[in-house]
Amino acid sequence: MLTERTEVQVRQGVESDLEALTDLYNHYVRDTPITFDTAVFTPEERRPWLLSHPEDGPHRLMVATEPISRGTSQEILGYTTSSPFRPKPAYGTSVEVTVYLAPHAGRRGIGTLLYQALFDALAEEDVHRAYAGIAQPNEASTRLHERFGFRHIGTYGEVGRKFGRYWDVAWYEKQL
């Protein structure tokens, strides 16, 4: 495992990542209940999302990449974001965080690398709490969040319907 992780780098997401990030997210839209979006996006439709995560401030987009076949091109293995928790001003010091990995990138520690980079960046920001909603069941995501000190604060039962069934969402909180 260590040799696989040595070439993985985490950096700020940029405009040229948009197509790959959209493709990665669309996998989760099409094939999983992880997101409650039900229609795939074009890169142009996802552009406002990308632009809502600047290089600094509390709302970040970090991507994990590795070289493709020892060349200069980079493959995006996953990404993490911190986004506004709720739109009202008093929520300004709270963020909602998430991690998405390419289907073949799981179990390599990439989610851990992404969250470590995100929380390191947020340590310099005026952020008090981070929240994460995890569609159930999702043991890997639950373990990742607990590893980073998130604690379960409640579950919304059958809050979303996708693929002809209802899904629960467990909510987790982390003090920053």
Distance, in Å, from the CA atom of 8 to the CA atom of 108, rounded to the nearest integer, reads 10
Q: Report pLDDT for 70.
A: 65
Which residue type is seen at 58? P
User: Which pTM does this prediction carry?
Assistant: 0.92
Closest listed residue to residue 22, CA positions, set 97, 100, 131: 100
Question: For each successive 10 residues of the chain (176 residues), what is the average pLDDT?
Answer: 63 96 98 97 97 94 87 86 96 97 93 97 97 97 97 98 98 97
